[in-house]
Amino acid sequence: MLERVEELLAGFDSAQTPRRARERAEELVRTVVAFYGEGLERVLTILHEELGERSEAAFARLCEDKLVETLLCLHGLHPIELAERVDAALQSVLPYIKSHKGNMEVSRIEGDVVFLRLEGTCDGCPASAATLKLAVERAILERVPEIREVRAEQSETAAGALTDHNALRMLSTA
Amino acid sequence: MNQGPNDNFAMLQQMLRRRPPSGERCDFCSTPVGPEHGHLIELAERRILCACRPCALVFEPSGAAQGKYRTIPVRYAEIEEFALDDSAWDALQVPIGLAFFFYNSLEKRTVAFYPSPAGAMESLLPLDTWAEIAAAYPAFAAIEPDVEAIVIQRNREVSRAFVVPIDSAYELVGVIRTSWKGFDGGAEAHAKIAGYFEKVTERGRGRVTARRT
């Protein structure tokens, strides 16, 4: 892998146009980051072998550090499954929603988008769209770097009520 | 999409997932080029650049881009009945049985390089020695400045010389740089050098030989 880095650095000067230079730069970043990712994976494997049962606690500690956690996510090495992490983030704001007799749960995850099923008083309530964007999405995005957006799954009773457009209107009038 | 808090993460992740472009690309326009593509030389840096056919054509006319680039021709030819006695070879001050020569138009002189594990090393070529050899082999003097080279292989078994494109001469340097081990190079390096000369011989076959006496 390091030979490839050397090659790319040497080839850098050969790029005669900005487009070619960008491509080379991207490949260089890709190669270097992959090199670190490979190293990170091996470190975790060794830790796991050495610590045995205690490795779970050690990994949890690692994930308490936001920077380390982001790195683990980037390389697909997070010890906890994506769905489980999304759910944990949702749980953190659920007490507030439940205090309004509402409920939300994760319906599915598609790429970097989480779809939530709205239940109870949330279902069909225009204010739930604002809560979704303001509180729920924020909580999930903050804790799960792989996610970029949270959407409400359209229910028959509230079709159209929970679009981003309506959410924004709610926010601007709030 | 609006700027979200995790967009930077997503950008980096996508970049890592993007498959590296396979194979070589044109150093000018980034178009993928096949394994058999043309090369240009950037004269001032003596840097070899990959070029797709259209880009190579752009720089082909002499004086294009103020002469910054030259298209490297594809001409391979073995020089017939090449013989060099020990004293002539020794005078070239090349420590191994391999060297290549070309005319550097910026420096206005013929330069000699020999491949080494550290890359191409310049030999301090005594000019009169080269003039004597060139006089005996007119093909030597007929190579195109900067873009064609004479590669000489000379050891106990063989004594031969080829006209090759300059990128091919650098390819030989690369082969040696990456495979040479220890003092004598080792079996792998010698096999690769032999492979290089087989390829050059093959390419030179069926073409008009460069000897014009």
How many CB atoms sit inside 10 A of residue B25's CB?
Answer: 19
Residues A111, B173: Cα–Cα separation, whole Å: 48
Task: Look over chain B and give the mean of its residue pLDDT values, rounded to a whole number.
Answer: 84
The answer to whether residue A113 scores a pLDDT higher than 80 is: yes
Residues of chain A with pLDDT > 90: what percent?
48
Q: What is the ipTM of this complex?
A: 0.72
> A125 or B20: whose pLDDT is higher?
A125
pLDDT at position A165 is 52
Residues of chain B with pLDDT > 90: what percent?
15
Q: Is A44 on the interface with B (CB under 8 A)?
A: no
> Are B101 and B43 in a shared domain?
no
The answer to whether residue B204 scores a pLDDT higher than 70 is: yes
Q: Which residues of B touch A146 (CB under 8 A)?
A: 6, 9-10, 13
Tally the domains of chain B.
2
Tell me which of A20, A71, A77, A110 to substitute to probe the interface with B (most B C-beta atoms closer than 10 Å): A20
- Amino acid identity, residue B19? R
Under 8 Å between Cβ of A86 and A69: no
Q: pLDDT per residue over B49-104, tens digit each?
A: 999 989 888 888 877 777 888 889 888 988 888 888 888 888 877 778 888 999 98
> Are B102 and B183 in a shared domain?
yes
Q: Which residues of A touch B1 (CB under 8 A)?
A: 148-149
> Are B118 and B193 in a shared domain?
yes
pLDDT at position B213 is 37
> A115 or B5: whose pLDDT is higher?
A115
Q: Quote the tokens at residue B71.
A: 């298209």
User: Of B18, B44, B71, which closes a domain?
Assistant: B71
> Are B54 and B122 in a shared domain?
no
pLDDT at position A89 is 94
Mean of pLDDT values over A149-168: 62
pLDDT at position A66 is 92
Per-residue confidence band for A161, with pLDDT thresholds at 50, 70 and 90: very low
3-state SS, residue B114: strand
> Are B197 and B121 in a shared domain?
yes
> Are B65 and B83 in a shared domain?
no
The answer to whether residue B212 scores a pLDDT higher than 70 is: no
Q: Does any domain span residue B210? A: no
Q: Is B21's CB within 8 Å of A27's CB?
A: yes
Q: Is A13 on the interface with B (CB under 8 A)?
A: yes
For B16, which of A23, A34, A70 is closest by C-beta distance? Answer: A34
User: Of B71, B93, B110, which closes a domain?
Assistant: B71
Q: pLDDT per residue over A5-39, tens digit each?
A: 877 777 777 777 888 888 888 888 888 999 999 99
Residues A143, A152: Cα–Cα separation, whole Å: 19
Residues with Cβ within 8 Å of B48's Cβ and at least 6 positions away in sequence, in order, are A14, B39, B40, B41, B42, B72, B166, B167, B170
User: DSSP labels for B31-50?
Assistant: -B--SS-EEEEETTTTEEEE
> Are B36 and B106 in a shared domain?
no
Q: Does any domain span residue B5? A: yes
Task: Look over chain A and give the mean of its residue pLDDT values, rounded to a whole number.
Answer: 84
pLDDT at position A159 is 46
User: Of B39, B71, B103, which closes a domain?
Assistant: B71
Give the range of the structural domain holding residue B182, as residue numbers without chain letter.
77-204
Residues of chain A with pLDDT > 70: what percent?
88
The answer to whether residue A91 scores a pLDDT higher than 80 is: yes
For A29, which of B5, B15, B48 is closest by C-beta distance? Answer: B15
Q: Where in chain A is the domain with CATH 3.30.300.130?
A: 82-173
Interface of B with A (CB under 8 A): 1, 4-7, 9-10, 12-13, 15-16, 18, 20-21, 25-30, 42, 45, 47-50
Q: Name the helix (H) or strand (E) containing A102.
A: strand A102-110
> B205 or B82: whose pLDDT is higher?
B82
* Per-residue burial over B108-132, b = 16 or more CB atoms within 10 Å of its CB, e = otherwise: eebbbbbbeeeebbeeebeeebbee
Q: Is B28's CB within 8 Å of A26's CB?
A: no
Q: Is A141 on the interface with B (CB under 8 A)?
A: yes
Q: Quote the tokens at residue A7.
A: 């090659």
Global confidence as pTM: 0.62
Q: Quote the tokens at residue A128.
A: 């739930």
Residues in chain A: 174
Q: Does any domain span residue B213? A: no
Q: Is A159 on the interface with B (CB under 8 A)?
A: no
CATH architecture of A82-173: 2-Layer Sandwich (3.30)
Q: pLDDT per residue over B101-150, tens digit each?
A: 999 888 888 888 888 777 788 887 777 788 888 888 888 888 999 999 99
Distance from CA of B181 to the nearest CA of A (A): 17
Q: Which residues of B touch A114 (CB under 8 A)?
A: none
The answer to whether residue A167 scores a pLDDT higher than 70 is: no
Under 8 Å between Cβ of B163 and B210: yes
The answer to whether residue A44 scores a pLDDT higher than 80 is: yes
For A20, which of B16, B18, B28 is closest by C-beta distance? Answer: B28
The answer to whether residue B27 scores a pLDDT higher than 80 is: yes
- Amino acid identity, residue A54? R
pLDDT at position B210 is 45
Q: Using the 8-state DSSP alphabet, how is residue B66 labeled? A: G
At residue B9, φ and ψ (nearest 5 deg) are -60, -45
> Are B129 and B162 in a shared domain?
yes
Q: Does any domain span residue B212? A: no
